[in-house]
Amino acid sequence: MAVTKIHPIKSTLKKALDYITNPSKTDDKLYVSSFGCAVETADIEFEKTRLRAMNKGNNLAHHLIQAFEPGEVTPETAHEIGRQLADSILGGKYEYVLTTHIDKGHVHNHLIFCSVDFAEHKKYISNRKSYGFIRKTSDRLCKENGLSVLIPGADRGKHYAEWDAQRKGTSYKQKLKIAIDRLIPVSADLDDLLRRLEAEGYEIKRGKYISFRAPGQERFTRCKTLGESYTEEAIAERINGKVILKTPKPERTGVSLLIDIENCIKAQQSAGYERWAKIENLKRAARTMVFLDQNGIVRYTDLQQKIAELQDGQEQTAAALKTVESRLSDMALLIKHIETYRELRPLYDEYKKSRDKEKYLRGHESEIILFEAAAKSLKAAGVSGKLPDSAKLKADYQRLAAEKDRLYSEYGKLKKQLREYDAVKQNVDSILSPAQQREQEKTL
């Protein structure tokens, strides 16, 4: 499990970078890396990128922290997860410095990235949507690396003490909910359930709201604070086997998975829910058969072949998308270094011709550092002699960016289709009896 938080850096960027790259926290800088800039000159390069933006905003950079559960991950794995997170959320367009701290009881990553991208010189928009993408990406990477993941929304609105108590199995609220769920199927009505809770040691306080207090608990817990399914009305409805109706939802037109009634806890606890699930399954089965007919799927092998084709198409599109993203990142970096080199070359030539280089350096230290870093990067990229045309490179970048958007759209469509066909196949497998499954090679 990894917890994330992000905040802007409006001043003292150098101080923040010095803090996250502290040798005593990063095993003598073993767990320090960067992208699009040198660790030592990141603050200077960030500022140079910001100066090229029309609307740079007030933020110098953004600081993202990714903290892991104690003992759950090694520093090496944590750093790699941090790098993948940075590359995924920043798209190879923002300079960043990534470090992994190992001096505390839990391993955690610090990611500081420029507030403006060096490809199009647009500022990073930090809001609920962008943070949601960070959270989702972090969870995906944790899952891929065998780490635990927070359940979205499950702990919303809880104080830390309550969340920690539930995690350790000591939450009074969680134990009360388990007790109520266990007693609902055997209770005749709400009063009967309350009597059974009293027999288990709970103190019940009746009034405008029903409240409970377990042995050793300091304060009473009201029913309504447990959640929508634990209000007095909801508990009574559940005991009577009636479905708790919420805001009506529009009729579904797509294919949905059949409900596994035999293994559904809600169906076992509520006869009303079981009846609804059976009727809903008939509707979902009907929509499944309509889908097969509309898409010309007659044989089971046709369905398998279509799914295989969609999987191949999705894998090929994902590979092409990854290649395009890598090329875009490389091209954006090349354009950045070329523009920096061209802009600062006259100043660097003056520095070389200066009789008092030390004095000249004191007045133009940042510019000279940036020029030498750009020259070094261009040499490493194999660029020598005449520099490539920046205008042509930018035009190529825009064409490649358009291709990336097209591939993203295509990937999304394939993903949606594959999800739909997978649901259809699972429904067909559930509908077919063992005898029919032996005949599935013939027709559906």
Q: Is 443 exposed, middle or buried (0-12, 13-18, 19+ CB in 10 A)?
A: exposed
Taking 60 as the threshold, does the pLDDT of residue 370 lie above it?
yes
Alpha helices in 262-299 (DSSP H): 265-269, 271-294
How high is the pLDDT of residue 273?
Answer: 81
The pLDDT tens digits of the residues spanning 250-295 come to: 555 678 888 877 777 777 777 888 888 888 889 889 999 999 999 9
pLDDT band with cut points at 50, 70 and 90 for residue 160: very low
Taking 80 as the threshold, does the pLDDT of residue 442 lie above it?
no
**What is the helix (H) or strand (E) element at residue 144, kind and residue range?**
helix 128-144
How high is the pLDDT of residue 335?
Answer: 94
Query: Can you tell me the distance from the alpha carbon of 9 to that of 27, in angstroms, rounded to the nearest whole number?
Result: 25
Average pLDDT value for residue range 232-239: 87
Point out the least confidently predicted range of 101-110, 219-228, 348-357: 219-228
Quick one: what percent of the chain has pLDDT higher than 90? 60
Mean predicted lDDT score pLDDT of the chain? 87
Average pLDDT value for residue range 213-219: 89
390 neighbors 338 (Cβ within 8 angstroms): yes
Per the DSSP assignment, residues forming a β-bridge with 395 are none
Tokens in use for 371? Answer: 């020029």
Tokens in use for 303? Answer: 């369905």
CA 70, chain centre distance (Å): 21
272 neighbors 243 (Cβ within 8 angstroms): yes
Average pLDDT value for residue range 413-428: 93
How high is the pLDDT of residue 206?
Answer: 87
Taking 70 as the threshold, does the pLDDT of residue 352 lie above it?
yes
The widest CA-to-CA distance across the chain, in whole angstroms, is 98
Taking 90 as the threshold, does the pLDDT of residue 39 lie above it?
yes
Average pLDDT value for residue range 62-66: 97
Closest CA to 321 of 92, 129, 123: 92
Taking 80 as the threshold, does the pLDDT of residue 33 lie above it?
yes
Helix axes 190-199, 172-183, angle to 10 degrees: 120
Taking 50 as the threshold, does the pLDDT of residue 163 lie above it?
no
Point out the least confidently predicted range of 221-225, 300-304, 308-312: 221-225
pTM: 0.66
Beta strand 2-9 pairing with 211-213: unpaired
How high is the pLDDT of residue 323?
Answer: 95
How high is the pLDDT of residue 1?
Answer: 66
**What is the helix (H) or strand (E) element at residue 63, kind and residue range?**
strand 61-68
Average pLDDT value for residue range 64-79: 93
Query: Can you tell me the distance from the alpha carbon of 274 to that of 266, in angstroms, rounded to the nearest whole number?
Result: 8
Torsion sign across C-alpha atoms 270, 275, 276, 281: positive
Torsion sign across C-alpha atoms 36, 2, 122, 19: negative
pLDDT band with cut points at 50, 70 and 90 for residue 209: confident
Taking 70 as the threshold, does the pLDDT of residue 390 lie above it?
yes
Instruction: Enumerate residues 6+ apart whose C-beta is below 8 A from 357.
Output: 351
Q: Which residue has the tokens 């599935």?
A: 440
85 neighbors 141 (Cβ within 8 angstroms): yes
How high is the pLDDT of residue 252?
Answer: 56
**What is the helix (H) or strand (E) element at residue 363, kind and residue range?**
helix 357-380
Tokens in use for 416? Answer: 């949606």
94 neighbors 156 (Cβ within 8 angstroms): no
Greater model confidence, 147 or 336 = 336
Rounded (5°) CA angle 225-231-236: 160
CA torsion 35→38→41→42, rounded to 10°?
Answer: 10
Average pLDDT value for residue range 62-75: 93
Average pLDDT value for residue range 357-369: 91
pLDDT band with cut points at 50, 70 and 90 for residue 157: very low
Tokens in use for 201? Answer: 């040691």
Taking 70 as the threshold, does the pLDDT of residue 434 lie above it?
no
304 neighbors 441 (Cβ within 8 angstroms): no
